[in-house]
Amino acid sequence: MTSRAIFPAIHHYRAAAEPCHNFHMSKQQETGFTTVPIPRSRAFVVDAARVAAGKHMIHGLVEFDVTEPRARLRDHKARTGESLSFTAFVLHCVGAAVAEDPLVHALRDRRGRLVLFDDVDINTIVEIEVEGRRFPLAHVIRAANRRSVRELHDEIRAVQARGDRNYDERTIRLFQWYARFPGPLRRLAYRIAMAGPHRMKKYGGTVSLTAVGMFGQGGGWGIPIPLYTLNLTLGGICWKPAVVDGHIVPREMLDVTLSFDHDVIDGAPAARFAGRLRELIEEAYGLEVLRSLPPS
């Protein structure tokens, strides 16, 4: 008797010998849990992950000392009562650093060429409130390299204030129809919509920045599912000992994951970009004007 015949026979014997036991086990398995439908909106996440699966990424887990910019933001709040967005400050620094080295957000076209854009359009996550629940909304900040921290802050707050009104009815219906398509058709439509650097920039921007630290407390790095040549994941902020002028002092450290498409960016230019971004953030670039503002 072959193994194919043996195993079904054993299985049949056990099922016949222990019918009551199996019946009770199946009854027990039907309790103690709840089944809920998967939201159709998850289709966008699944499709993006499938498209990103073929990228050859390199990741850098770094720490930035944000003691100075955080102190300036706290000082501004104490004098004016306004809480400026820390994410807006980081967006401002990223826009400036990318503008100095456009290769880090270059996109490849079908002819194997690199398209280097003048404007830095950053796809970021803005937390909005929909029907009493908080929801992460993807939003593209246009020309972040040409705008001040104040302008970026105002745009983020405007997106949060609009809530579920950020999309018109036509766009919502389009998303609903997209989510109903079978997976292969959805991903084909996704690839067509994002085909070519200019379409990618129009619909999704040229850089991705996700601030996962706003959903929790403490330090930690995140590893993203990257779609772009340059992807930044802001982790948590926590106090850590650091050496400043030969002395060990407590400093606020921001954990950041920098992810680069290795088909476009090598390690050396990626490291130079990380170093320049560190300088801008740690020097509180763009926040100099706050100290000259009068108190409210």
pLDDT per position as a tens digit, 127-151: 877 666 677 788 999 999 999 999 9
Residue 246 confidence (pLDDT): 93
Q: What is the pLDDT, as a whole number, of residue 79?
A: 92
Residue 123: its pLDDT value, please? Answer: 96
Q: Are strands 107-108 and 114-115 parallel, antiparallel or unpaired?
A: antiparallel
Closest CA to 44 of 204, 222, 186: 186
What per-residue confidence (pLDDT) applies to 38?
82
Fold of 36-292: Chloramphenicol Acetyltransferase (3.30.559)
Point out the residues of the chain with pLDDT beneath 50: 1-18, 20, 23, 25
- pLDDT for 293: 56
- 10 Å CB burial of residue 264 (0-12, 13-18, 19+) is buried
Residue closest to 85 by CA, chosen among 73, 72, 75? 73
Would you call 126 helix, strand, or coil by DSSP? strand
DSSP string, 226-256: --SSEEEEEEEEEEEEEEETTEEEEEEEEEE
Cβ atoms of residues 256 and 235 within 8 Å? yes
Residue 59 pairs with which residues in a beta bridge?
Answer: 259
Specify whether the CB–CB gap between 219 and 208 falls below 8 A: no
This prediction has a pTM of 0.82
What's the pLDDT at 23?
Answer: 46
Cα(161)–Cα(155) distance, integer angstroms: 10
Q: What is the pLDDT of residue 28?
A: 55
> Hey, where are the domains in the chain?
36-292
